[in-house]
Amino acid sequence: MTNSFETKDQQQVWQVIRAINDAWLKGHAEDLIDYFHDNMVIVTPDGKEQGKGKVACVQSYKGFSSMAITKEFKEKDSSIQVYGNTAIAGYTFEMTYEMNGKSFDDVGRDIFVLIREEGKWLAVWRTIITLSPEKE
């Protein structure tokens, strides 16, 4: 996916989002520790906190990666808004994976909130929104 974000901040935020996705997709969820704020929270589509705190959130990615084989992951329709030291980034994803012998096709939207601390963008919040697959 090619993006042409207008500002340096938007570009840096997108680099963090890409690094997060690259890490777990390539089987290196432990690397997420470098991109998550100490108070990171992940909220599932049903509104429940899946992880609270950097270590718990890394573990949630590790847990998924250990149970699922991701066959395809696409990002599209990305957007980033920056307000001082806070950024809100979102993108739609399409993902095909296998878990427990079954195949799944998910479409959703990830919304991340990032904050800049000491010149570095860190994810502090992720909300996963389930979308209905597009009908062709």
**Residues 51-94: tens digit of each pLDDT:** 899 999 999 999 999 999 999 999 999 999 999 999 999 999 99
**Structural domain boundaries in the chain:** 8-66+78-88+109-131
Q: What is the pLDDT of residue 124?
A: 98
Q: Which residues make Cβ contacts (< 8 Å) with residue 117, sequence separation at least 6?
A: 37, 85
Q: What is the pLDDT of residue 134?
A: 57
Would you state the pLDDT for residue 133? 62
> Which tokens sit at 41?
């929270």
Of the candidates 10, 24, 19, the residue with the CA atom closest to the CA atom of residue 65: 24
Residue 24: pLDDT band with limits 50, 70, 90: very high
| CATH for the stretch 8-66+78-88+109-131 | 3.10.450.50
pLDDT-derived band of residue 50, with 50, 70 and 90 as boundaries?
A: confident
